Structure 1
Amino acid sequence: MRRALHTLLALAVLLIAAALGLVALNLRGEDPLPRTPTAFDPTPAQVERGRYLALAGNCAGCHTTRGGAPYAGGVGIETPFGTVFAGNLTPHAEAGIGRWSAAHFWRALHNGRSMDGRLLYPAFPYPSFTHVTREDSDAIYAYLRTVAPAPTPNLPHKLRFPYGTQPALAVWRALFFTPGGFVADPARPAEWNRGAYLVEGLGHCIACHGTRNVLGATEEKLGLSGGLIPVENWYAPSLNAKREAGVADWDTQHVVALLKNGTSPRGSVMGPMADVVYRSTQHLSEADLNAMAVFLKQLPEAGPADKAPPASPVRRDAGVMARGAKIYDQQCAYCHGDAGQGAEGAYPALAGNRAVNMGSTVNLVQVLRHGGFLPATAGNPRPYGMPPFGHVLDDDGIADVLSYIRGSWGNDAPPVTRGQIMRP
């Protein structure tokens, strides 16, 4: 009996120690809030800077519903664990952040913790925002205090058990999150460091272009190596692989054009990236766009295995190629040309197109099935778009025509199988 009591006591001590350890890990790097509220009297310049920084962080992308009040929240962010709803960031005292101080807002960005101390879900990308400076955090807060208060209540998250619990979130944070801050590289020029700050911090590019583990955490060591965007089924290509979306060999002006206009002589954007350009990067200054381009161009390239061409030509099924050729002639050639040459300034060439030849076929299937459209920007106000063909082609037809495109006009990518494009 005494031995059993000792065992239970030891287990209780271990559980208490583990709980205290979790608390300590979730408080690391967190400055205590001021005991008394401090005055916050922003200048017009600070408010304007905050407006600009909110655009750089694409805050409205998650915190503004289509047709809804600006920054009133309500957007459902689908994850493999359920739906997280973005909160109301307007200065409404009850529904929004009207009672938050600048210190509360900074703690949310830097530590992922709400005003009342609750741990926030990383669908709010605080693992990236932790690199945002206090000065920029205060500027964004100053701007948000000027938007119209909206009484839109925050919606409860819909997460499967145990993912919707604070203890589970505390364990996740202990495993995968450490508060940080941006540290400039003294060996790099100021422009490169500014680009790194925007890409790794406010821009939170790794949220899409990073690889995630089974618990949804980004693999920081892999950097911007590409990854499937959960639930949305779009693949955000690697930004450091020439065969995907690396820009090391691009002219800086072409990278800037892509971020500002959504299109450039070297490529164009569709899917979730089109929304990023529309809501965020088209509004950035030339200096910041140049800085981002400089940083992206100097990303370490992927390993040789990622860049190596196939050892021998891919074997093709004659029947698949014939069926694909017929579909292409009927549905695609009018815009993309008989030889996949496209039309400059309107329809992209498919011959030699790295989006066509990329290992992942996810985006090709999405564009063919649902259509794809460039963002309307000042530099490209009336972009051409790709109509959807999901109502015309079944899964076999999509597989056939994509296999034909990936094996014609010098393209030599593997064919697309029906299993790769099964409808959800």
Structure 2
Amino acid sequence: MKRLSMVIVALLVVGAALYVFLTRSDTSPGQAPVLAGAPADAAVLVRGEYLTKAADCIACHTVAGGKGQPFAGGVPFKLPFGTIYSSNITADPDTGIGRWTDDQFVRALHDGVRSDGQRLYPAFPYTSYTQLSRSDVLAIKAYLFSLPTVSQPNQPADLSFPFNQRWAMGFWNAAFFKSERFVADAAKPAEWNKGAYLATALGHCAECHTPRNLAFALDKGNDLAGAELQGWRAYNITSDPKAGVGAWSDAQLASYLSTGHADGRGSAGGPMGEAVEHSLQHLKAEDVAALVTYLRSVPARQGKSPIDIDTKAPWAVTASAAAPAGNTAEGHEMGLKLFAAACASCHQWNGKGQQTPYAGLLGTRGVNDPEGANVTQMILQGVNMHVGKNHVYMPAFGKAYTDTEVAALANYVMAQFGNKAGRVTPEMVAEQRTK
């Protein structure tokens, strides 16, 4: 019995030592590439504002639709095991981060630990922000502390056991996370390193575009090969010429990132639309070009359910702008009727769009995806974003149409403009409404 007790104690000691070793923090400050929009000699608040926008902090920490105060938190994130809410990151001393020290703020972004020592969930992308330099992190903090404070208590997470045990995140970190700063690749040009820092650390592209494993950790073997987020499909952005963006021109990639639209490729909506509106459109042209350079180098991966794009769908090509092709109603009578009543005036029957190029449908990935996730969400939620001087708007039809009508319209749009047999069902639409 005594020997067994000694063995158990030894195992506990070894386990504790291994836990501490695997969850140790990298305390190095790091050295970030110099971005065009955040030069080293700029005032700290100027740098902080640019970096905060590049990191897209406002999208996750502000309830959309004018229903929340900037950076006051409260945005729900629905996960398979419950819902968590973003926190108030204004400098309010009681409900925000106004009493956080520099070291506490850095530790949150580098290691996922709050000021009270409790661990954060990786829905807050410290798994990417860990690569930020200490100087950039503190510039972000300085900018946030310069903004108006908002007194708004944080909403507690609603998670089932054992996911509601924050201390257990230490074991998750030990298995799937490493605290480390960005290290420039000396074999790569400066522009590539800038793009890598923007994509992996600040822009945290992988958090949306990389699939996750059963433990909700990023599947590094399929980096940027596409994933699902809040009911939307975050597309493959690897260099694969068919499944990814390898066939896109540099101009198309830059346009999509900075404006949310690329002719013949598609228009952003949902979480990507938010990223364009709040973050990407504010990047300097040189930094967007650096991001494009990095994306060009991402290894090609097909990912799950690659999309075969038909840029010359016969039903759309044989239609005029004002009238559908003769055979488009076959099997899609309800969808055609709905499209004629509410959609054709903007999108046109040939899918080229009328008032704005953002309404173009022909050749886009959304209408070529038989699962129809993004087409369905676009119908349900619409689009409402500001890019430069443009107000990109499409009304939401979620309240106007039944699940059966949304499914019929989605399948018709995919048949008309992607030459695809859509697989959207009323049951799928009902599920998409809950995302």
Q: Structure 1 residues 238, 304: closer, same or farther in 2, change over 3 A? A: closer
Alpha-carbon distance in 1 for matches of 2:54, 2:279: 5
- RMSD, matched Cα: 3.2
Q: Is the 8 A contact 1:248 1:299 kept in 2?
A: no
Q: Is the 8 A contact 1:90 1:97 kept in 2?
A: yes
Instruction: Identify which range, 46-55 or 116-125, moves more after superposition.
Output: 116-125
Q: Which residue of 2 aligns with 1:7?
A: 4
Alpha-carbon distance in 1 for matches of 2:254, 2:307: 28
Q: Which residue of 2 aligns with 1:284?
A: 283
Q: Which residue of 1 aligns with 2:59?
A: 61
Q: Which residue of 1 aligns with 2:407?
A: 399
Runs of 5+ unmatched residues, structure 1: 33-41
Instruction: Identify which range, 196-205 or 214-223, moves more after superposition.
Output: 214-223
Matching residue's letter, 2:48 = G
Q: Structure 1 residues 144, 97: closer, same or farther in 2, change over 3 A? A: same
> What is the DSSP-based 3-state SS (H/G/I as helix, E as strand, rest coil) of the residue aligned with 1:408?
helix
- Give 1:323 deviation, angstroms: 4.2
Alpha-carbon distance in 1 for matches of 2:102, 2:285: 29
Q: Which residue of 2 aligns with 1:381?
A: 390
Are positions 1:147 and 2:147 aligned together?
yes
> What is the DSSP-based 3-state SS (H/G/I as helix, E as strand, rest coil) of the residue aligned with 2:236?
coil
- Give 1:270 deviation, angstroms: 0.8
Q: Is the 8 A contact 2:307 2:369 kept in 1?
A: no
Alpha-carbon distance in 2 for matches of 1:168, 1:381: 46
> What is the DSSP-based 3-state SS (H/G/I as helix, E as strand, rest coil) of the residue aligned with 2:387?
coil
Q: Which residue of 2 aligns with 1:37?
A: none
Which of 21, 44, 47 pairs up with 1:46?
A: 44
Q: Is the 8 A contact 2:211 2:227 kept in 1?
A: yes
Q: Which residue of 2 aligns with 1:255?
A: 253
Q: Structure 1 residues 118, 344: closer, same or farther in 2, change over 3 A? A: same
Q: Structure 1 residues 143, 347: closer, same or farther in 2, change over 3 A? A: closer
Q: Is the 8 A contact 2:119 2:167 kept in 1?
A: no
- Give 1:306 deviation, angstroms: 6.6
Are positions 1:337 and 2:348 aligned together?
yes
- Give 1:199 deviation, angstroms: 0.8
- Give 1:407 deviation, angstroms: 2.8
Which of 359, 365, 373 pairs up with 1:362?
A: 373
- Give 1:412 deviation, angstroms: 3.4
Alpha-carbon distance in 2 for matches of 1:209, 1:86: 20
Alpha-carbon distance in 2 for matches of 1:390, 1:71: 28
Q: Is the 8 A contact 2:208 2:227 kept in 1?
A: yes
Which of 6, 19, 23 pairs up with 1:26?
A: 23
Matching residue's letter, 2:23 = N
- Give 1:29 deviation, angstroms: 2.8
Q: Which residue of 2 aligns with 1:38?
A: none
Alpha-carbon distance in 2 for matches of 1:417, 1:76: 26
Q: Structure 1 residues 182, 360: closer, same or farther in 2, change over 3 A? A: farther
- Give the TM-score taking structure 2 as reference length: 0.81
- Give 1:406 deviation, angstroms: 2.4
Q: Which residue of 1 aligns with 2:184?
A: 184
- Give 1:338 deviation, angstroms: 2.8
Are positions 1:158 and 2:158 aligned together?
yes
Q: Structure 1 residues 344, 122: closer, same or farther in 2, change over 3 A? A: same
Are positions 1:294 and 2:293 aligned together?
yes
Q: Which residue of 2 aligns with 1:119?
A: 119
Alpha-carbon distance in 2 for matches of 1:351, 1:149: 46
Q: Is the 8 A contact 2:328 2:336 kept in 1?
A: no
Alpha-carbon distance in 2 for matches of 1:107, 1:57: 17
Q: Structure 1 residues 308, 15: closer, same or farther in 2, change over 3 A? A: same
- Give 1:151 deviation, angstroms: 3.8
Alpha-carbon distance in 2 for matches of 1:92, 1:247: 43
Alpha-carbon distance in 2 for matches of 1:370, 1:327: 16
Q: Is the 8 A contact 1:64 1:71 kept in 2?
A: yes
Q: Which residue of 1 aligns with 2:322?
A: none
- Give 1:67 deviation, angstroms: 5.3
Alpha-carbon distance in 1 for matches of 2:98, 2:417: 59
Matching residue's letter, 1:142 = A
Runs of 5+ unmatched residues, structure 2: 30-39, 314-326
Alpha-carbon distance in 2 for matches of 1:121, 1:46: 29
- Give 1:116 deviation, angstroms: 3.3
Q: Is the 8 A contact 1:257 1:263 kept in 2?
A: yes
Alpha-carbon distance in 2 for matches of 1:365, 1:44: 44
Are positions 1:213 and 2:222 aligned together?
no
Q: Structure 1 residues 319, 67: closer, same or farther in 2, change over 3 A? A: closer
> What is the DSSP-based 3-state SS (H/G/I as helix, E as strand, rest coil) of the residue aligned with 2:77?
strand
Q: Which residue of 2 aligns with 1:100?
A: 100
- Give 1:12 deviation, angstroms: 4.3
- Give 1:363 deviation, angstroms: 1.1
The one-character-per-residue Cα deviations of 1:154-204 (angstroms, maximum 9, x if unpaired) are: 333322221121332111111111112212222322112111110111111
> What is the DSSP-based 3-state SS (H/G/I as helix, E as strand, rest coil) of the residue aligned with 2:23?
helix
> What is the DSSP-based 3-state SS (H/G/I as helix, E as strand, rest coil) of the residue aligned with 1:99?
coil
Matching residue's letter, 1:84 = I
- Give the TM-score taking structure 1 as reference length: 0.83
Q: Structure 1 residues 69, 335: closer, same or farther in 2, change over 3 A? A: closer
Instruction: Identify which range, 353-362 or 59-68, moves more after superposition.
Output: 59-68
- Give 1:308 deviation, angstroms: 8.3
Q: Structure 1 residues 307, 95: closer, same or farther in 2, change over 3 A? A: closer
Q: Is the 8 A contact 2:379 2:396 kept in 1?
A: yes
> What is the DSSP-based 3-state SS (H/G/I as helix, E as strand, rest coil) of the residue aligned with 1:78?
strand
The one-character-per-residue Cα deviations of 1:302-346 (angstroms, maximum 9, x if unpaired) are: 249976859xx9xx9996334433443344333322343433734
Q: Is the 8 A contact 2:367 2:417 kept in 1?
A: no
The alignment covers a number of residue pairs equal to: 402
Matching residue's letter, 2:115 = M
Q: Structure 1 residues 96, 393: closer, same or farther in 2, change over 3 A? A: closer
Instruction: Identify which range, 48-57 or 362-371, moves more after superposition.
Output: 362-371
Instruction: Identify which range, 131-140 or 7-16, moves more after superposition.
Output: 7-16
Instruction: Identify which range, 300-309 or 18-27, moves more after superposition.
Output: 300-309
